[in-house]
Amino acid sequence: MNALVTRNRIIGLAFAALVFGLDQFVKWLVIAPLRLREVGVIELLPFFDLRYTENFGVSLGMLQATSMEMRWLLVAVTAMIALVVLVWMFREKTLPDILGLAMILGGALGNILDRFGLGYVIDYADFHIGDFRPFLIFNVADAAITIGVVIILARSFFVREKGGDHEQPAQQPAES
């Protein structure tokens, strides 16, 4: 295996661990020192608050875990998705693709740990314009997953890499 590819994959694993650690650290900050669970809301800016929320669903609040069986089903399904992302990450070679997948993996692991240990995911970031909320309340893991997906989609639409790190230019026909 190419040393550069191995280095990129190690960087990807380290980045996924960093995203996971940052997510868990910020969740600890809002729960323990800031006591957001008890306080409820901390207004930081006119358009951004910390607002404690227990998310029993997955993306956009879908698939609510209303029973213990559903909780463990969500843990299993999200763990399988994380495993697929990990395998995909190990198949990639370029650092931008690996980092996008690492963001998804690190964020997924952060939310899986919450759901496994608590039965729900802790959300707290509330971006709003007056009463208008363009996003649901989210956390670092959700933001990392979203940014990672955007990176992967953008690269798949705008970067063409065939047979290596760079696409070969098309041969021009000889002029007569």
Mean pLDDT of the chain: 88
**Known catalytic residue at 165:** no
- Among the listed residues 23, 114, 126, 142, the single catalytic one is 142
Cβ distance 116 to 73 under 8 Å? no
Dihedral angle, C-alpha 6, 7, 9, 11, nearest 10 °? 170
Q: What pLDDT, on the 0 to 100 scale, is given for residue 71? A: 86
Tell me the per-residue pLDDT of 60-92, one tens digit each, with 9 for 90 and over.
555 667 778 888 988 999 999 999 999 999 999
- Among the listed residues 123, 126, 131, 165, the single catalytic one is 123
* pLDDT over threshold 90, residue 151: yes
Calpha distance 134→12 (Å, rounded): 30
**Known catalytic residue at 131:** no
Q: What pLDDT, on the 0 to 100 scale, is given for residue 159? A: 77
Cβ distance 107 to 141 under 8 Å? yes
Tell me the per-residue pLDDT of 31-65, one tens digit each, with 9 for 90 and over.
999 999 999 999 999 999 999 999 987 765 556 67
Domain boundaries, the chain: 3-158
Calpha distance 59→29 (Å, rounded): 23
DSSP state of 128: -
Q: What pLDDT, on the 0 to 100 scale, is given for residue 57? A: 76
